[in-house]
Amino acid sequence: MNATPLTAHHAELIEFPEAMSAGERHVGRAQNFSVDWIGHTQPHVADSAHELLLLLPGAGARIEHGTSTTAAPGRSFCIIPAGRCTITLEAPALGILIASSRNDLGSSDYLNERTRDSRIVASTPAFRRRSGEGKPLVTAIDDIAAPADNARLKMYQTDTLSINWVEYDGPRDRAKLSPHSHDDFEQGSLAIEGRFMHHLRTPWGSNADLWRDDEHLAAAPRSLLVIPPGLIHTTEGVGAGYHLLIDIFSPPRRDFIAKGWIANAADYEDPTRPAAS
């Protein structure tokens, strides 16, 4: 049993700077994943030991990988194979590059420091792509249908990550929030458009000196909340207008795969499960 009390762990809110010059990096990290916020049209180079996931909520992009060049339109996901790639946005809009490993970054390249948490399960061994390995794969966001039993889910995965694309107009219904916690993995909640309130509750342990009051963190666009294991959380979109929030997990959510909630789960084999005979 882990001797570190859950109440000793805090969520971290990372805010990406507004201004971004060509060649500048704005990267926030959790233990198992990083978020690289791309906001210019200059070529952006990345190198990873595992697949990268590029989110394009607005303008499209050109992705160079090996000897191939792939065009990805706006409102799409692009899975980029392991290795070195160059991403060039078509317009000064937004690209978000999510990775479980970045060979090209050092500790000074991140906006935040990170202390290792032994409770968090590793992101590897990686899932195995069944076909098309080595080629970028582009999927339109609007082609992903939410599960019939959960309209809030538009989930997608790579070999070491899964995300949930959550978008809606107006405030979230306060009578239908979903407070929950995770035992052995982090969650990242990336605010892209709209304003949010992250509600956080630390479970009480036997040591009352470690108890903490509930937190209600206001989150503007361009922010990433990293939620540790054991912390009860839910996020509420507040105010009028469009809201876009991306939930990030590494490794992929096996519980959601089992429920059939991840749109492209059939493209991957789970190395921890025996192969079908």
Contact status, residue 217 vs residue 173, Cβ threshold 8 Å: no
Intra-chain end-to-end CA distance of the chain, in Å: 36
Peptide bond into 203 cis (omega under 30): no
Helices (H), 158-226: none
Task: Please tell me the predicted confidence (pLDDT) of residue 9.
Answer: 62
CB atoms closer than 10 angstroms to residue 205: 14
Per-residue confidence in pLDDT tens, the chain, 277 aa: 333 333 346 899 999 998 777 678 899 999 999 999 998 899 999 999 999 999 999 999 999 999 999 999 999 999 999 999 999 999 888 999 999 999 999 999 999 999 999 999 999 999 999 987 788 999 999 999 988 888 888 999 999 999 999 999 999 999 999 999 999 999 999 999 999 999 999 999 999 998 899 999 999 999 999 999 999 999 999 999 999 999 999 999 999 999 999 999 999 999 998 765 5
Name the DSSP letter for residue 58: S
Task: Please tell me the predicted confidence (pLDDT) of residue 8.
Answer: 44
Separation of alpha carbons 233 and 6, rounded Å? 14
**pTM, 2 dp:** 0.94
